[in-house]
Structure 1
């Protein structure tokens, strides 16, 4: 009987495999040309680049004066005259299943999966804005894992997604449910207490598809009954999370506004600090010495203060946002001056995903050169993800993820607020050159 059953499985295996295998990616060769290219690895401009992409990966990049590559007959051309190309952008802090248009109580008017089904639209908006890779730091119902899978299968358009699944946090803390009365409150996955409980949650999120671990080390702006400066997990708990995640080959991102929580997270071995609004001189020193990356979302307060009340954001949340906004920007400048590694992250979902490119202006205003701001969203972000072989540069071996703008963003970084062409894996994902 067992032999018969095994034989049946083997007979059915080809059919089952064929039914489940996604449509194969095209092995075609694509040639991209433009007036100039920003080489984020060397920090220079390449004139008249020719980029050859085969099977979705870059095989060669040459500029003016270089030996012309051998281009197969029938290669598809994407010519971008008058334009500057740069690597597909990376946003290290997004929430695809969140929307700024619904406050915490307004959202209760809708069914449980309302925000989840809005996510594909948000993913499409981010891709059209030039972000070909995003790190989704916390979601409900493992929606970010689902978006990653659907995008990778070619079923919906969107950027490459690095999912965190549920964020880890303490009972009653920023990542817990704090808006509802006790009779309506539910146990939020990811919430645990003590080193072992949090280690267990690292394993749980990984088992369900997380590729990065998100932890809430301090209070936050958009939660209730927490203050941004409050430390909410001990250094021992944070260290347990970092050790467990690193053992499994995952990096850890810590939501941390307050100075004490930032210092504890860095000492615990957390890889990136999100927000870092109230970082002090000691936290900056620790980050610089240990190579910890700060991901500081210094644009979105502009949107929140202008539109938050109309969108249903509570006054207490608006107050917290006002109190830390300028401090965060001043500390961004201080961290940059000190030589801390900085990567681009917007907290898209707090503001519309389509506006993620607006942060470049603020990073330049608070101390970066345009090249440094672009590197924060490409080279630095790829390093922080541990994805230097795949994304973050126009270089041989990496994905053919390229964005183009009319003009020179090194002279006017705000050009990146209106990306003209987005290429992902050698295929044009968005072309706004003829848009009115």
Structure 2
């Protein structure tokens, strides 16, 4: 059964909500603890009590005593207002702003129902993810807590130039307002426009990409002065910068310029890994997207030929790079690129990470503690501890023994509002 907010147990009708858990995951220690009762008030965790004390008379009651509770999961690379398919390339000409926004509402619901209570959205159209974030925050629609970059920043002809592959008279010459920049002055203007639009962070495409209709999937696409202008201007407005990268040269430039996170990181060298460890630069690996595009490249007609060729070459490399980066000590935060891969399938990434050599406990930390630190919200999100947001999910079993259990979420709460399956004890 799926419930949304006030249609289920909202956590708002009483002074306190008590949640009985059959066990809880301590993500710091990487251990499953025994039965606990989580006490919630005003959308936050007020207390954790060992065992299951008798229900107080004046509290809202949620009985998850047959399940294991853990913090809400976090995905640091999504695209909530789109989903890749054979018709995606024509939809740029057929979908209106309202169409994109309504699809975003559907994908946001799927994401929170999958147990992901917080996401970064790293690239949209029409600023739809900003409207989606605001509607979710206002309680109008179900979805995760969103931190969005709005439109990604690109150079002319680069990955995320929205007019790549268009006829000349249609392509025109998009500029900073539409997220296309050349030179330092336009870099500053593009960042300031995102701030004006209401973005939470900046996303740049520092190298070529798989899905754009352009020949190279990995060439460097920003000069050092442009990268530095983006990063320094973003810092003026309290925003961090994430960089889509596949190729090593563009990746190296981004890390040296002070980028906050590297997305994908496909052709990361040992030298770049060492530099990221030195600077504390995050990697958001997106193995799921790599596997998805490699698979769909073999489906006739799914991608244009130029895209399929890049997908076959780049997609399969991401998991192996992740494995080497993890072994090298690169800081890693969980990210899937859902919107490329299907929304709601986010938790498959855990299995891919474990398959590549990460322990289930460490994989879970990437989507809780590490993601919270990446966002600068480590004192608010990612733990079941007093003072933290009442973001709580539940599964049947122990994900530290079988991480694939996280693909079957039985209960979801965000900020004290229940979105999925709320069994209540009278």
- Deviations for 1:286-341, whole angstroms, at most 9, x for unmatched residues? 11111100001112233334446467322321221221223221111111001111
Judge conservation of contact 2:68–2:398 (CA < 8 Å) in 1.
yes
**Greater RCO, 1 or 2 (C-alpha within 8 Å, sep 6+):** 2
- Deviations for 1:161-187, whole angstroms, at most 9, x for unmatched residues? 111111111111001020211111152
Q: What residue is the counterpart of 2:207 in the other structure?
A: 218
Query: Counterparts of 1:332 and 1:236 in 2: how far apart (Å)?
Result: 29
Query: Counterparts of 1:76 and 1:311 in 2: how far apart (Å)?
Result: 53
Judge conservation of contact 1:100–1:311 (CA < 8 Å) in 2.
no
Q: Is 1:323 matched up with 2:313? A: yes
The aligned runs of 1:409-428 (5 Å cut-off) are 409-428=399-418
Q: What residue is the counterpart of 2:6 in the other structure?
A: none
Report the Cα offset of residue 378 of structure 1: 0.8
Q: What residue is the counterpart of 1:237 in the other structure?
A: 226
Judge conservation of contact 2:123–2:150 (CA < 8 Å) in 1.
yes
Report the Cα offset of residue 432 of structure 1: 8.5
The aligned runs of 1:1-400 (5 Å cut-off) are 28-64=15-51, 73-108=57-92, 110-113=94-97, 114-176=99-161, 177-186=163-172, 187=174, 189-307=178-296, 309=299, 312-400=302-390
Query: Counterparts of 1:432 and 1:300 in 2: how far apart (Å)?
Result: 32
Judge conservation of contact 1:104–1:179 (CA < 8 Å) in 2.
no
- Deviations for 1:116-168, whole angstroms, at most 9, x for unmatched residues? 32110000000000000110011111111100110010000000011111111
Query: Counterparts of 2:18 and 2:57 in 1: how far apart (Å)?
Result: 11
Greater Rg over alpha carbons, structure: 1
- Deviations for 1:16-36, whole angstroms, at most 9, x for unmatched residues? xxxxxxx99656311112121
Judge conservation of contact 2:291–2:316 (CA < 8 Å) in 1.
no
Q: What SS does structure 2 have at the residue aligned with 1:121?
A: helix
Judge conservation of contact 2:100–2:128 (CA < 8 Å) in 1.
no
- TM (norm. structure 2) is 0.91
Judge conservation of contact 1:174–1:226 (CA < 8 Å) in 2.
no
Query: Counterparts of 1:203 and 1:402 in 2: how far apart (Å)?
Result: 36
In structure 1, runs of 5+ residues without a counterpart are 1-22
Report the Cα offset of residue 49 of structure 1: 1.8
- Deviations for 1:162-213, whole angstroms, at most 9, x for unmatched residues? 1111111111100102021111115261111112211111111011110011
Report the Cα offset of residue 75 of structure 1: 0.9
- Deviations for 1:230-288, whole angstroms, at most 9, x for unmatched residues? 00001221111111111211111001111111111111111010010110011100111
Q: What residue is the counterpart of 1:9 in the other structure?
A: none
In structure 2, runs of 5+ residues without a counterpart are 1-9
RMSD over aligned CA atoms reads 2.1
